Structure 1
Amino acid sequence: MQLYLMRHGEAGHEAKYDRERSLTESGLHHVALMSEWLKSTGVKFQLVLVSPYLRTQQTWQEVSQHFPAPRKCKVLDELVPAADPEMAARLVLAYAEQYQAENVLVLSHMPLLGYMVSELVAGVEPPLFATSSVALVDIMGRHAELMWQQTAHSIS
């Protein structure tokens, strides 16, 4: 299974609650750049799992314009910034198995994404995720490997 972990685009700070922060114009632009780059790799997602926060929902709205509709898209409260990374990783794997998904996109936040990588890939320190960046974790049975991590700034 190919697990694509993506951080939301850059968000403004002018919301009353963290969950209500929306993407900036720059954030939308970088999400579009990353989406086009991902599309150029030929990937098609069967399953998309998204945090309920506004900025991740907006990120998914932009990403979804660049890809065919996945078989299943779910919003999960377990993908918020302060979620338990072990539980989040297990839940993502369980949904991937349930929906027999070979390519899974997870749209979430820091620090959760970094901690999820270290939960999935033995011996890897939690990587930092810039806004709009994506990491690919290749999972083969009980073995997982961090294949690459790409930022929108490096492709623009």
Structure 2
Amino acid sequence: MNLYIIRHAIAVDEGTPEYEQDSERPLTDKGKKKMRQISKGLRTLGADFDLILSSPYVRAKETAEILADVFKVKAEVAFSDNLVPMGDPDLLIAEMNEKYSANSIALVGHEPQLTALVSLLVAENTSVDMTLKKGGVCRLSADDLHHSRKATLEWLLTPGILVEIGEK
């Protein structure tokens, strides 16, 4: 199983008057454009998804929709409250095991939840010191998440590197 851990792209700043709730903040035009380039970079690297599971927050939803469009994913994007900023990684893993059977999953969400998920899967809850920038992607591989939560960190790429790869 491959897991692509994807942080949402650049969004409108927190505290912007038009968006009272943090969950309502959309991507900026720059964020949308950059996410399209990042998605093309992922496609060039040979990434593929059976499922895109996203936080329901607007900025993550828009990121997931761009990803689905670039990858021509036929199924709709699925949403999980366990991918919100303070979501529980253990509950997310349980949800994935119960609801979805996919070999390759893109998980679109927020920090600090995504780093907590990577820490749980790679280092068994020991905090992993990593920076997942907006639009950054981390690829993990695992044989199975049912009995063992061990995953291997395959790569962690910044948005800038993915944009460069997508432009080739």
Structure 1 and Structure 2 fold alike (TM over 0.5):
yes
Conserved 8 A contact 1:8-1:55: yes
Which structure dedicates a bigger proportion of its chain to strand?
A: 1
One-letter amino acid matched to 1:136: R
Query: How far is the alpha carbon of 1:23 from its aligned partner?
Result: 0.5
Q: 1:133 to 1:127 in 2, by over 3 A?
A: same
Aligned-partner SS, 2:131: coil
Match of 1:63 among 47, 64, 67: 67
Q: 1:79 to 1:121 in 2, by over 3 A?
A: same
Aligned to 1:73: 77
Q: Unmatched 5+ residue regions in structure 1?
A: none
TM-score by length of 1: 0.89
Q: 1:47 to 1:72 in 2, by over 3 A?
A: farther
Question: After TM superposition, what 4+ stretches of structure 1 lie above 3 angstroms from structure 2?
Answer: 70-73
In 2, Cα distance between equivalents of 1:2 and 1:62: 20
Query: How far is the alpha carbon of 1:79 from its aligned partner?
Result: 0.8
Aligned to 1:148: 155
One-letter amino acid matched to 1:27: G
One-letter amino acid matched to 1:153: G
Tell me the C-alpha RMSD between the 2 structures: 1.8
How many residues are treated as equivalent by the alignment?
Answer: 153
Query: How far is the alpha carbon of 1:61 from its aligned partner?
Result: 1.7
TM-score by length of 2: 0.83
Who wins on radius of gyration, i.e. which is larger? 2
Aligned-partner SS, 1:65: helix
In 2, Cα distance between equivalents of 1:42 and 1:84: 29
Q: How does 1:17-96 map to 2 (within 5 A)?
A: 17-71=21-75, 73-92=77-96, 94-95=97-98
